[in-house]
Amino acid sequence: MSKQAPPPHTATSHQPTPPAATMLTAEDKKLIQQAWEKAASHQEEFGAEALIRMFTAYPQTKTYFPHFDLSPGSDQIRGHGKKVLGALGNAVKNLDNLSQAMSELSNLHAYNLRVDPVNFKLLSQCIQVVLAVHMGKDYTPEVHAAFDKFLSAVSAVLAEKYR
């Protein structure tokens, strides 16, 4: 007698771990932490640059910032850039527990700000470019791959509350 699978609508009692978070190897984590050490002291500068790149390449993202002065170097862009990279720094410190570390931020973006999750990926791409520009030869293909997995995991965690 074969066992029947439960109906697809059956709820489970656990939250699945975002797939990207489970793909971070020990080597990935080491590379992420090493790269972050180089970026950590430039959070405001790199964050502002990533935001400006996002607003330039993906102008539709500006709609989430109607009250901001979106000109490069504005206090609001620099301040928000610092917040964004500060949150990433917190994620780097909590690579083994991203969901818990970013829960409050996930709630904010899902319930209060209602940011379309696709924008997390767009900003992630811009962050990658900024890191590559500033790290130069230290931004190796291995670092790029590790950071890509990391930012995918962060994006997945930020989008968890949308489900």
Question: Quick one: pLDDT at residue 8?
Answer: 41
Q: Give the residue-averaged pLDDT of 131-138.
A: 96
Tens digit of pLDDT for each residue in 20-49?
A: 556 899 999 999 999 999 999 999 999 999
Q: What is the DSSP letter of 154?
A: H
Question: Quick one: pLDDT at residue 100?
Answer: 77
Tens digit of pLDDT for each residue in 87-134?
A: 999 999 989 888 777 777 766 655 566 767 787 899 999 999 999 999
Domains and CATH numbers, the chain: 20-162 (1.10.490.10)
Q: What is the mean pLDDT of the chain?
A: 83
Question: Quick one: pLDDT at residue 112?
Answer: 61
Q: Which two tokens stand for residue 99?
A: 């969901």
In whole angstroms, how far apart are CA 16 and each of 5, 60, 104, 157? Answer: 19, 31, 18, 10
Instruction: Give 74-92 as a DSSP string.
Output: -HHHHHHHHHHHHHHHHHH
Kindly tell me if the per-residue pLDDT of 61 is higher than 70: yes
- 85, with CB counted inside 10 A (0-12, 13-18, 19+), is buried
Kindly tell me if the per-residue pLDDT of 16 is higher than 60: no
